[in-house]
Structure 1
Amino acid sequence: PPDLSEVAGQGEARLALEIAAAGGHHLMMVGPPGSGKTMLAERLPGLLPPLSDDEALEVTAIHSLDHVRRGVNGLIRRPPYERPHHSASTASIIGGGTGIPRPGAASRAHRGVLFLDEAPEFDKRVLDALRQPLESGELVLHRSAGTAAYPARFQLVLAANPCPCGKAAGKGISCECTPMARRRYFGRLSGPLLDRVDIQLQVNRVQLAQLSDSEPREGTVQVAARVQVARDTARERLRPFGLVHNADLTGRILRGPLRLPPADTALLDRAMGLGSLTARGYDRVLRLAWTVADLRGRDRPGAEDVGLALTLRQRGEGQ
């Protein structure tokens, strides 16, 4: 399987990937072609813990219904990874077909990762259809031959170019896209969909010095071990609320039982007061801050953890 040690440079993106894995957060990466977005996404499943017995049964049952692929041999123990092409139909991603509807890529990604490369190129109906499983973790398909409900609790990873031509990175002097074209490009990603994506990150091209760096890089095994510890910590803390991941935390809990002291949220309070952060954005940053604290072995986030969480929403400002 792809190993994280193969990713040169991209320190911030690697950290974002680790935080996404530890907290169950959805992730969007925006950067020019060749910046490593796909390479990073392919390594997320390896950072996730192995499936439990119950989870393995769920995933194996779904994949056994896929009549296009080969039969399943034994229990699937690793989180699945699905990467549909941007030309894929709604039925192939959400599910459908003749007779009783069969699971699509979203259900096959249950307990794993659904990666949409060049996300703004997907049909808007496909993107909007993903809102149902992101909210409920389930897809209900109605067809003339009957109705089928399939689980679809996945981590969503979106990748996009900075503009339609992909050349707007850095100073963007070679980009010829008009402001209207750029707005139209990102406008295909609806607000309700992005509302569920906690981490929205800019990814830049790797520099030559980073490629030739001979320093050893952490691999998947080392990072996955930290992710497992952080997940165990979060599970214990969230058990009274009936939750598993920090990504599932609600504003009511974040501003109630898990409320942080004003000194630790001063940066967020100031951003909200200036209008650069909405209430939804405020909560998303706090969810990330709890995951950062779990990875650092802290009982609760401090001001430093909150600051790091805020930087992981570089494209989410004002949302």
Structure 2
Amino acid sequence: MQDSSSPSPAASARVRWRDADSAVLRALARSRTVQLAVLLLALLALAALFAPWLARQDPFDPAALELLDAFTPPWQHGASGAFYPLGSDDQGRDIFSAILYGLRMSLLVGAAAVALSLAIGVPLGLAAGYAGGWFDTVVMRVADVQLTFPLLLVALLIFGIARGLLPAGYRDEMALYVIVAAIGLSEWVQYARTVRGAVMVEKHKDYVLAARIIGRSHAGILLRHILPNLLAPVLVIGTISFALAVVAESTLSYLGVGLPPTQPSLGTLIRVGQGFLFSGEWWILLFPALVLLALALSVNLAGDWLRDALDPRLQ
């Protein structure tokens, strides 16, 4: 029986999370670089959230475009008299408005892909680490095989198979779901391996043995006792994976196998701008690329900050 004077596993987890919150805030207060990264990430998220109100036009509504304003340089007025702070592209589309909508789509794909990876990797890691035996062997060998291939190659394979199975008329409509599935199914391995290793350590601790003695079910032990103690490393991996998912989506869209032009993302805008780089319209490529760089850099810095703050060996 567990000693009545000792805190319960749930209470211990709450104490650890309060300590983690304090460590995170202390780490944030010490680093100006991290503060700037978090501020930039918040500004980008707010800009994407309020894109319909901040954008001057719907850049992907053909009726809202001004063809006479095509290739207007940054900080200039077009032939129609409209002002373009970041210039316009070959269709007279406002680059600033396009970036806002593209940023929204990139963030949506990144968040959805991370959620899918979590939904697959965490349960598999929990079950493999707790059950062991043949199930653990099968899951880890599948993970090892997938790790031998680059993320983009796996995503391209999954994307190609899904697009091949869909009717031609539904490919553009389902492109968002296909790209999320392709990236999400490519990144579940790191969650499964991390959670499995942590579970193999936690399942031999006294609070798990006490829960078994008092008759807790295996599912209850995993969900109520072990899982709360694994959230910190999962959160860190999720933060870094989010940046990787955004970059992967942009890369796939740049290669022409991602989102269609009717569903813009930063990668789609970069692909469009690349065709005009050497003809002198540099702004069509430069500004979306800078926003993508700022987004990936800020997320990576925030992930490193969380990792350092939540790692007890660095305290």
Normalising by structure 2, report the TM-score: 0.24
Between Structure 1 and Structure 2, the one with more strand by share is 1
Larger helix percent: 2
